[in-house]
Amino acid sequence: MLTYASKYRGAAFGDVEVEVEEGKKENRSRGLWAMRLDEFLDEYQLGDMYMVASVPREMAGEVELLSCMLCGGFTKNLQDAVIWFSSGDTKSVLHFDALDNINCVMDGRKEFFLVDKNDKANVFIDHPEGSFSGVDVDKVDMYKYPGLSQVPWYNVTMQPGDCFFIPYRWFHQVRSAAGRSLAINIWFVHLLQFNSSDCKAKGKLPDFEPLAQFELASDSEQLRGEIANFIDELDDAELHIEDLSKLAADLEISDQESLKVFQTLDQDKDGGVTIDEVYSCNMNNVQAQAPGLATRDTDGEKFDDNHDEL
């Protein structure tokens, strides 16, 4: 999935600027800065830092999508591809993402702690603006976070060459072992509809395709996915006027804006919005009805400034 020899990457892409964050135990309060890749490769083994960067266009040919993503609609819903690189011993916060996610390890070992999103009652997300918990992942305060003593959980150990699917809104915390750690994350919109005819039309698929062959989808596709999944979790899988206050809170917009969103999505004007209507609607028109969608804090919902899969 990535040609990852440090010497090769330093020579070929040394002048590429990447983002680096201070603190290998994440707490969401430390600095983020830019540096050249060759400078990072000279310093990362000695410093308390790690690299987290969207794959630069110059390096997109080095990253390949797995065969399982090459049909069904996934390539039209790619949101980001991110490199995570450190000297190991990193620890993320406990958090969730509003996207699906495939994590592939190139070097080092990672441990994932996961909790099903259906067990959310036991996971106290006390930083909802960033979709993460403030729990100390090394020393859990059971008085403040009692649900964590009751919640069923999964442990996943990843070695070089392993790829792992992290489902939409599943809670997870990630650790990397000591030593060089390098991984790639592919984020994509959580789809409720799988385009099987697309797979049939494409026939036998290659094992991999370079990321450079695909374009990232706009943020409007993530919005489409969020609204579709909101509706899917309603009792009758249809959005009605009485659901709009909750939708407004979920999307971080005003009640008035949520009403305009509803009216735009309700294409047949029958007083209800179905998932099919969400998937067929022009989301640019939806965004135009709610300026708050452009300014809302989506950090926890995506990955732009939050670095979790250490």
Domain final residue, candidates 213, 233, 264: 213
Does residue 301 form part of some domain? no
CA 40 to mean position of chain CA atoms:
24
Average pLDDT over residues 156-161: 97
pLDDT of residue 308: 63
| 73-110 confidence digits (pLDDT tens) | 999 999 999 999 999 999 999 999 999 999 999 999 99
CATH assignment at residue 145: 2.60.120.650
Reported pTM:
0.88
Domain assignment of residue 302, yes or no? no
The rounded distance, in Å, linking the Cα atoms of 204 and 250 is 40
CB 183 within 8 A of CB 84: yes
Within-domain flag for 103: yes
Residues 238, 284, single domain; the answer is: yes
Asked if residue 157 and residue 109 are part of one domain, the reply reads yes
Q: What's the pLDDT at 309?
A: 66
- Tell me, what CATH number does 266's domain have? 1.10.238.10
Whether residues 134 and 234 share a domain: the answer is no
Domain final residue pick, 164, 192, 213: 213
pLDDT at 299 over 90: no
Whether residue 302 is predicted with pLDDT greater than 50 in this model: the reply is: no
pLDDT of residue 295: 60
Is there a single domain that holds both residue 201 and residue 231? no
Amino acid at 153: W
- Are 78 and 186 a contacting pair, CB within 8 Å? yes
Yes or no: say if 273 and 262 are a contact pair by the CB < 8 Å rule: yes
Find the domain containing 249 and state its range.
Answer: 219-295
Question: Is the per-residue pLDDT at 24 higher than 90?
Answer: no
Nearest to 275, CA basis, from 215, 231, 225, 218: 231
The answer on 258 and 178 residing in a single domain is no
Quick one: 109 and 57 in the same domain?
Answer: yes
